[in-house]
Chain A
Amino acid sequence: MPVRDGLFVDVDPPLLVTGRCRSCGHLHFPHRRTCPYCSSERVDESRVPGRGRLWAHTAVTAAPPGYTGDVPYGFGVVELDEGLRVIGRLTEAEPSLLRRGQPMTLVVVPLHTDDDGRTVVTYAFAPSSAEPHGLDGRRPPTGAAT
């Protein structure tokens, strides 16, 4: 199950759910009813493929508050082809193996198993050269025990 509804569509390949304002034209994520740039209510949901280029990246080496998944994990910003910079996890947890500007693709990754035994998943970005993404291509973040 998704960590939160309305962030992404878990199809193969997955889609990121953004908002596009009909008044000012700006994209935003996550999708909101009101445009964060111009306060307009004329915002359309826009599902985008989540392809783009790496704009900044690091790795988180110690579990931050409220997080029960594995560490380390990659963390960065991807500039989507549609013209939007998005913060998210990266599947690569070794920063030296990534470089700014390299093609990245949206994937869905597991976070942890909830009390009812369901796998909680979230969106992340993987280097485009990585293995096929989507349901069958799911893999735990680097360093995760499987």
Chain B
Amino acid sequence: MAGVGMHPFGRHGELSTTEMGVTAVRAALTEAGVGRGGFQAAFCATAYGGVASGHKVLGALGMTGMPIVDVEAGCASGGAALMLAAGAIAAAQYDTVLVFGVEKMPKGIIRSSFFEPWQEEAGLAATPAYFALRAQRLMESSGVTKDHLAAVVVKNRRHGVHNDDAMFRSEVVAGDVLASRVVCEPLRLWMLCTPNEGAAAVVLRANGTGSSGAVRLAAAVLRSHVPGAVLSESTPLSGLVDDDVIPPTALAAQDAYEQAGVGPGDLDVVECQDTDAARELLSYEELALCAPGSSAELLESGATQLGGRLPVNPSGGLLSKGEPLGASALGQVVELVRQLRGQCGARQVPGARTALSHTVGRGANAGVVILTR
């Protein structure tokens, strides 16, 4: 990972997707010491950016000519772009590739072209309701309570205080989280992340060419779902009477651990999909950070807070940063590269050497990235 850059996540008024992309890309290229002609391909992750988002960013920088490919994989778009770049480098097609993500989300519940018009008309395009049903099932299977959901928010918002790139930088208390408006029982407003705007970029370089710094991309995996789970992120309208369908996050994690030659016990720091508070706990289980059914215990142990054995979402997570779909996965990767370099100041995980990033969303798409130094 030769260089990383961010445009802060938040609401930025009239600032365009292209302008945010330029900021992030310029920062990553500068850090990598790469100029015009210094990379042979670019992958741009975006879900709402529209036609040729990547070309617009690189056109604004006067850096076109190489192949530029926009990549859409829902919440995991950045992971997908990184996978494609890593694969091309591994195949010796290129030695340096720019990967970036840009997004400017509409406000409110995300309108997605995923749903058919009749599903919208029938009120079935209610994204938070699917999160809520998943949360309810987790509460039944893992002893998770609303207090645990609130504790995830408190933890991540506390982490986010120290992140200049986060949208929300104030601490919250559990009582206020629980007292915020019920969106879909059991989820309260503050338990849901905010769709927003931002950009992130990384420069990937083949091993042994140039001063790549010490952080290495050990795995970048994208998986989709296998059918059967009614509450899968694939958002079907029906499913089997089967509670053992392997979720896409577990599929991606298994592949990533194998590729990287590490196990969950080797991780020092994790950034995971906390679209809602329950999703973080579900990720603990699907990423095998704990045994099935014991996510509440892992949270209660304090292991996943800064200062714990395995801090999760030291950046503040999506609950603090907000979620610009195309940029969110690469935002996690930027955070983890900085963590592994020891550049994170008050939110630094001391001595971190192995890190995992996880995103999952509609498609289904699940991305898992493992970084080492």
Contact = CB atoms under 8 A, between A and B. Distances in A.
A138 B109 CA distance: 30
A61 B238 contact: no
B121 A3 contact: yes
Given A64-B126, A77-B231, A85 B240 contact: yes
A52 to B, nearest CB: 10
Contacts of B109: 62, 64-65
Nearest to B137: A56
Contacts of B238: 18, 27-30, 84-87
A62 to B, nearest CB: 7
B342 interface: no
B117 interface: yes
Contact of B123 (A29, A58, A75, A100): A75
Interface in B271-319: none
Given A29-B238, A85-B238, A64 B182 contact: no
Contacts of B122: 3-4, 67, 89, 111, 122
B117 A58 contact: no
Nearest to A112: B121
A79 B110 CA distance: 28
B127 interface: yes
B241 A67 contact: no
Interface in A3-22: 3-4, 18
A67 B120 contact: yes
Given A57-B136, A100-B140, A85 B125 contact: no
A83 interface: yes
B172 to A, nearest CB: 21
A136 B240 CA distance: 32
Interface residues of A, number: 43
A135 interface: no
A67 B111 CA distance: 11
B129 A75 contact: yes
Interface residues of B, number: 39
Contacts of B182: 61
A80 to B, nearest CB: 9
A63 B109 CA distance: 9
B123 A69 contact: yes
A59 B183 CA distance: 8
Contacts of A122: 121-122
Contact of A77 (B111, B118, B133): B133
Given A75-B123, A87-B124, A56 B136 contact: yes
A12 B84 CA distance: 53
Nearest to B140: A100
Contacts of B181: 61
Interface string B163-192: 000000000000000000111111000000
A64 B125 contact: yes
Nearest to A83: B241
B132 interface: yes
B230 A85 contact: yes
Interface string A78-110: 010001111111000001000010000000000
Contacts of B117: 66
A120 interface: yes
A127 interface: no
Contacts of B133: 56-58, 75-77
Given A56-B231, A79-B241, A85-B241, A65 B125 contact: yes
Contacts of A111: 121-123
A76 B140 CA distance: 15
Contacts of A18: 238
A122 B138 CA distance: 29
A33 B185 CA distance: 36
B239 interface: yes
A110 to B, nearest CB: 11
A68 B127 CA distance: 16
Interface of B: 109-112, 115-118, 120-129, 132-133, 136-137, 140, 181-186, 227-228, 230-231, 236-241
Interface of A: 3-4, 18, 26-30, 36-37, 55-69, 73, 75-77, 79, 83-89, 95, 100, 111-112, 120, 122
Given A61-B182, A62-B109, 14 more contacts: A4-B116, A18-B238, A29-B237, A29-B238, A61-B184, A62-B183, A64-B127, A67-B120, A75-B133, A77-B231, A83-B240, A84-B240, A87-B124, A87-B237
7 contacts: A37-B240, A60-B184, A64-B126, A65-B120, A67-B125, A75-B126, A111-B123
